[in-house]
Amino acid sequence: MSHHPTTYTAVQAIAPGQLELTQKPLVDPAVGQVRLRVEACGVCHSDAATVEGAFPIQWPRVPGHEVVGVIDAVGSNVEGWRLGQRAGVGFLGGSCGHCAECRGGDLVNCRNQEFTGVHHDGGYAQYMLARASSLVSIPDGLASEGAAPLLCAGLTTFSALRNSPARAGDLVAVIGIGGLGHLAVQFARRMGFEVVAIGRGPDKGGLAEKLGAHHYIDSSAITVASALQDLGGAHLVVVTASGGRAVADAVKGLRPRGRIIALGASPEPVEIATSDLLFGGRTVEGALTGDPATADATLRFSSLADVSAMIETMPLEHAPEAYRKMMAGEARFRIVLTM
C-alpha cells in the first residue's frame, strides 16, 4: 500500500452558512469501520441541514453524503469489504444490528443510525471514516463522479418507485425535475411505467422528453390534478419538489387507491381534505432514502439500464461555491466534488 499522509484536506461547516477549507489529522478506522479515500462527493440539498445548522449539530462538521471512494484502511470486525475496493456511502451512516427496528429488518429506521455528514464527518474531504454497515458496492462500469448522486438522489427515487404498488403500464407522475426528479423520470421509464413529468414553466418539456417522460405538465400553466385526471388519473405520484403545496395539489390527480410518495422535505405543512383520502382510499406517505441492498440494486440497475445523473464537477476546494450554486437552484442537476 502507498504511504498515507498524516493530514488531509476537508471543507467543514463552522457556523450556520459558513464553510471553510481546513486540514484534519488522518485517523485509523475504529471497530466496524473502514476509511475511504474519497474520489467524488455529490452536493445534495439535504447538506443544508448541516451547513445551515437545521439539525442539532456539533461544529465543526464536514458535510456530504453522496460519497464514492476507495477503501484504504479496514478496522477490526469488518466482514465482506477489502482494501482497494471501491465503495459508496449515502445519507444513512449504517445500522446497529441490535435495536428493535434492525431486529425486524427495518435498517432504514435503525434507532442508533447516524446521518452521514450530520452526526459525523461526511464526504467534502479527501478521506472519511464509515461504518461498514453503511457501505454500498460500486459496479465497475460506473465512474465515481457519476455514481455519487445515485447514492442519495438515485437511491431515494429508485427505492420509492420499486417499493410502490405501481406496476408496469401504470401512470406514474414525477413532480419536480431537479437532482432527484431527473433520475426518478429515467427510473420510472425504464421500469415500464407510463411517465408524466411535472415541472414549473414550459422550458422543461424538452428535457422531460429526453429523460424518457411520455407526458409533460407545466404546473404554472395548468392545474396538476386536472391534467393528471385527463390522462386517466395517476396510480402513483412521486413528489421530489419540496413544499406541502405540491403534495396537496397532486392528491386530486390520483385515481382511486392511488398513492403519493413525498421525498422533498419542507417546513410547509401538507393540507389535504379528508374527503380526498376517504373517497377512493387514497394514500399519502413519505420515504427516506433506502436500505443497503436497495442501494446496491440502484447502482446495478443504473448501470444495466443506462440511467445516469446529469452532473457538473468541481474540485473540493470550490465546495463553498458549489454549495451556493446548489442552494440557489443553479445546479444542472447535480454538482459533484472531485478530490
* CA distances for 176 relative to 187, 214, 228, 282, angstroms: 14, 15, 15, 21
**31-65 residue pLDDT tens:** 999 999 999 999 999 999 999 999 888 999 999 99
Helix (H, G, I), strand (E, B) or coil at 207: helix
Residues 6+ apart with CB under 8 A from 210: none
The yes-or-no verdict on residue 231 having pLDDT over 70 is: yes
Phi-psi region of 281 (alpha: psi -120 to 50; beta: other; left: phi over 0): left
Domain ranges of the chain: 7-149+290-338, 154-286
What phi and psi, each to the nearest 5 degrees, are found at residue 101?
-65, -45
- Calculate mean pLDDT across residues 225-246: 95
The yes-or-no verdict on residue 236 having pLDDT over 60 is: yes
Tell how many helices (H) and how many strands (E) occur in the chain. 11, 15
For the domain 154-286, what is the CATH code? Answer: 3.40.50.720
Q: How many Cβ atoms sit within 10 Å of the Cβ of residue 56?
A: 7
Distance CA 194, CA 167 (A): 10
The yes-or-no verdict on residue 1 having pLDDT over 60 is: no
* pLDDT, position 266: 87
More confident residue, 311 or 57: 311
**101-132 residue pLDDT tens:** 999 999 999 999 999 999 999 999 999 999 99
* pLDDT, position 142: 97
Helix (H, G, I), strand (E, B) or coil at 174: strand
* pLDDT, position 263: 96
- Calculate mean pLDDT across residues 238-258: 94
CATH class of 7-149+290-338: alpha beta
Average pLDDT, the chain: 96
The yes-or-no verdict on residue 85 having pLDDT over 60 is: yes
- Calculate mean pLDDT across residues 11-32: 97
Q: Please, which pLDDT band fits residue 2 given cuts at 50, 70 and 90?
A: low
Closest CA to 62 of 129, 139, 110: 129
The yes-or-no verdict on residue 3 having pLDDT over 90 is: no
Omega prior to 60 cis, within 30 of 0: yes
